[in-house]
Structure 1
Amino acid sequence: NKEIKHELAIIGIPNVGKSTLLNKLANRKLAKTGNEPALTRTQLRINLDDIWYVIDTPGIMWPKLEDQEGARILAMLGSIRNTAYEVEEIGWFASELLLKCFRNPLAERYKLPEDVVSPNQLLLYIAQTRSGLDKGGKPDFHKASEVLLNDIRSGKLGPLSLEHAPD
């Protein structure tokens, strides 16, 4: 009597935790993980036990993103490589979205004063309190954007649901 083998493929957009899931299922580190897209470059087939194989796959993306807000959200989450967009533009976008929809996690993480209400004020505050100033003593908005984006991607702001059902 032959045992039935099961195969499970882990498929999704880049940088959503496919390899992390594989490592959790296997109870050991088999796949490289990190806070950036495209770490998995080829399919990885793992024998979990006598009847289960799991296949970890590289992230898949559609070739052209028509929806610019969707593209910015993907960039904010790290699903699009940093070279495909301006970090400050995505930092500004993330600041605006988070101030509007996720003020409490921002306030907790950064000890945010109530008078910080605009993306510029948020990035300025992060620059002053977290990422520092440039050599001339001016706020470094690039570094502040990187701090914010890294905190989003690493889950330091908690779970955030960025999509909502239409009205």
Structure 2
Amino acid sequence: MKQIQWYPGHMAKTKRLLQENIGLVDVIVELADARIPKSSVNPDFNRLLSQKPRIIAFNKSDLADASKISLWKKHYAHEDVLCEFIDCKTGRGINDLFTLVKKAAEPVIQKDLSKGRVFRPIKMMAVGIPNTGKSTFINRVAKNAATKTGNKPGVTKGKQWVKVNREITILDTPGILWPKFEDEEVAKNLAFTGAISDDILDLPDIAFFLLKRLNTMYPDAVKKRYGIEDDPDEGQSLLDLIARAKGCLLKGGEPDYERVAKMVLDDFRSSRLGCITLEVPDGGDFL
């Protein structure tokens, strides 16, 4: 499998946008993916956004493994990291997230009031890698926002201010990755969840590695979804078995790897394989 890299030109532009606008806001909220809590946190933000309080909002928690979410909550509590696990589709956890936002911004707001300045809303910047649900988050918290959403990276194209209520205004920004993935497992995780565009990926390769991971961590989920009872024979892969079980075949009976790969990835991303988290904290990130 060739090394995965994806850093289109608009991401470099977004990086400059973040640097230029960091002084305008009080708090940073980074949207990440609860299915890959480590891989979906952008390491560049530690440097780019270090001068402001930062809260990590792990979205898509409805698609994640509740037992592993508990492990991550304990881990981040031990590390004194401000975070909340949320579901933007239902709104679960968002009120708790805004409680953290208000608490993080309180010193700045109180300082303004002590200087005789009139009340102003908290200015929050929403950042994150592509496809973590930032646009869905904005639409959930601001009913009048006209933010486009889609299950593909790169839907939000530029910055936009969105009023949530009298207390909070959000500066929304496009999704951004970092220029080079040093850890190939991180790159794979980002590919599995759709944070990296499918257009530049070898999808059969990605599906092969996803199934390999799932067969280790959630073997029953794979077998139940695709009606597979036997393990692959030597020279076969789970992708072969699934292709034959689901009729994803070319003329002549050979597996249609592109078709079955898209099916497997879509099943994972849509939680049809069940609630899955691919990482655990404390040295067991990739099982």
Task: Give yes or no for TM over 0.5.
Answer: yes
Question: Identity of counterpart residues, as a percentage?
Answer: 34
CA distance in 1, matches of 2:222, 2:268: 10
CA distance in 2, matches of 1:137, 1:82: 26
Q: Structure 1 residues 159, 42: closer, same or farther in 2, change over 3 A?
A: farther
Return the letter of the residue paired with 1:89.
D
Q: Structure 1 residues 57, 159: closer, same or farther in 2, change over 3 A?
A: farther
Larger relative CO (CA 8 A, sep 6+): 1 or 2?
Answer: 2
Return the letter of the residue paired with 1:146.
K
CA distance in 1, matches of 2:124, 2:264: 35
Say how many residue pairs are matched. 166
- How far residue 87 of structure 1 moved from its aligned partner, in angstroms, is 0.8
Q: Give the match for residue 221 of structure 2.
A: 105
Query: Does 2:248 align with 1:132?
Result: yes
Return the letter of the residue paired with 1:156.
R
CA distance in 1, matches of 2:207, 2:255: 14
Q: Give the match for residue 54 of structure 1.
A: 170
Q: Structure 1 residues 155, 23: closer, same or farther in 2, change over 3 A?
A: farther
Aligned pairs (5 A) from 1:63-82: 63-82=179-198
Q: Structure 1 residues 88, 32: closer, same or farther in 2, change over 3 A?
A: same
Q: Give the match for residue 91 of structure 1.
A: 207
Query: Does 2:266 align with 1:150?
Result: yes
Could you list the runs of 5+ residues in structure 1 that have no partner in the other structure?
Answer: none
Q: TM-score, normalised by structure 2?
A: 0.52
Rg: which structure is higher? 2
Query: Does 2:148 align with 1:32?
Result: yes
Q: Structure 1 residues 116, 29: closer, same or farther in 2, change over 3 A?
A: farther
CA distance in 2, matches of 1:24, 1:87: 32
Could you list the runs of 5+ residues in structure 2 that have no partner in the other structure?
Answer: 1-116
Q: Give the match for residue 116 of structure 1.
A: 231
Q: Structure 1 residues 40, 103: closer, same or farther in 2, change over 3 A?
A: same
CA shift digits 1:54-89 (9 cap, x unpaired): 232211111011211111111111111123321111
- How far residue 99 of structure 1 moved from its aligned partner, in angstroms, is 0.6
Q: TM-score, normalised by structure 1?
A: 0.85
CA shift digits 1:13-40 (9 cap, x unpaired): 1111111222222246732222211111
Q: Contact between 1:10 and 1:57, CA under 8 Å: does it hold in 2?
A: yes
- How far residue 131 of structure 1 moved from its aligned partner, in angstroms, is 5.9
Deviates more, 1:64-73 or 1:47-56: 47-56
User: SS where residue 151 of structure 2 aligns?
Assistant: coil
- How far residue 106 of structure 1 moved from its aligned partner, in angstroms, is 2.0
CA distance in 2, matches of 1:109, 1:44: 41
CA distance in 1, matches of 2:247, 2:178: 34
Return the letter of the residue paired with 2:182.
E
